[in-house]
Chain A
Amino acid sequence: MTLLISISAAVISTLVWYCNARARNLKIGTLVLMYWGASLMWLVDACAEYIEIGSAYFTPAAADMLNDAFLGFTVVVLGMVIWIASLLIRDPAGTLHNVLSKNH
């Protein structure tokens, strides 16, 4: 479930990056690479688990699925938080700099 959610987030963010120039200016590429990196790593994890437990991998218990889904969404939000923090630190449009210099 976590793998599915992270791949979905990676695909959606890639589409936004591809279609929207404003999003590219906001360095959404960082978020795209983060999600793809995590998705690839979870893919390896999933393969290792499949080798270990076989087809039982595809029939998880409902409670496990719910927990994994909750984790997946938490991870997606964490990715966004890291991206927004890096955006504010880099401040590519100079917005933060302008706001702070106006106040002083």
Chain B
Amino acid sequence: MACFIVPTTEAIVTTIGKKMMQKHEEKHPVSTDKISFSEKLGWLNKLLWGGSALLAMEHLWHGEISPFPPFLTAAADAQELTVVLHEMATSGVGMAVLVTAVWGVMCVVSDKIHLKQLVNQEQSDSTTEEVPV
């Protein structure tokens, strides 16, 4: 009913976090052997904003939200509002946790791939230096 509100809230927080991190990285540049955290937060932003936008479309389709106040059609009824809050606490939190967990795995894997590339590059550089002319 309104489960997408939880990932949307997380997206707002991570967007602010990304802006702050970018400012921090501009002041204190990070080494090139790592993908910057602000770039990684950008991936999470896209996952969360994109997913939330498409889910909002689904809720609009099913008449669960409206473009006019109070936006949530269930907000008019107290009993239905309880159902909405329960769904936000279960499905909504589950969505936010799953997306963040997948993003976490993406970060670890991409760091490992990046590090492997750097090691391979260093090895190929050192072998070309050793070749007698």
The 26 sampled A-B contact pairs (Cβ below 8 Å) are A6-B54, A30-B46, A30-B50, A34-B47, A34-B49, A34-B53, A35-B54, A36-B47, A37-B47, A37-B50, A37-B51, A37-B52, A37-B54, A37-B99, A40-B95, A40-B102, A41-B51, A41-B95, A41-B98, A44-B3, A44-B91, A44-B98, A45-B3, A75-B54, A78-B53, A82-B50
Partner of A48, one of B52, B57, B94: B94
Asked whether B68 is an interface residue with its Cβ less than 8 Å from the other chain, the reply is no
Q: Please judge, given known A-B contacts A40-B98, A44-B98, whether A33 and B58 are in contact too, CB under 8 Å.
A: no
Name A70's closest neighbour in chain B (CB-CB).
B61
How would you classify the secondary structure of chain A's contact residues: helix, strand, loop or mixed? helix
User: A residues near B, CB below 8 A?
Assistant: 2, 6, 29-30, 33-45, 47-48, 71, 74-75, 78-79, 82
User: B residues near A, CB below 8 A?
Assistant: 3-4, 7, 43, 46-55, 57-58, 61, 90-91, 94-95, 98-99, 102
Flag if B58 contacts A71 (CB, 8 Å).
Answer: yes
Name A82's closest neighbour in chain B (CB-CB).
B53
Name A42's closest neighbour in chain B (CB-CB).
B55
Partner of A38, one of B51, B90, B94: B51
Task: State the Cβ distance, A34 to closest chain B Cβ, in Å.
Answer: 3
